[in-house]
Amino acid sequence: MCTNIVYEWLKTLQLSQYAESFVDNGYDDLEVCKQIGDPDLDAIGVAVPHHRRRIHEAVRRLKEADESAAGLYFTLEPQP
């Protein structure tokens, strides 16, 4: 198992046992992981309800972090 961002993310969730399945199913980047839904978890093999809830909650937090970071971007265009 090579170490990557998805492995580290799952490790923080104490769900690193799913890392290989995530990568094998194309979830090798957190941007892609933000799209995970129930059918994806079925394909990955996450059957334990508590694990599914933990992943859904972590995905929600990833999306919220994106939304809060979106306000930090700005452009250096001249004001009219």
pLDDT tens for residues 8-59?
A: 999 999 999 999 999 999 999 999 999 999 999 999 999 999 999 999 999 9
Q: Please tell me the distance from the alpha carbon of residue 44 to that of residue 46, in angstroms, as a whole number.
A: 6
10 Å Cβ neighbour count for 22?
27
Q: Which CATH superfamily is domain 20-69 in?
A: Transcription Factor, Ets-1 (1.10.150.50)
pTM of the full structure: 0.78
Domains in the chain: boundaries: 20-69
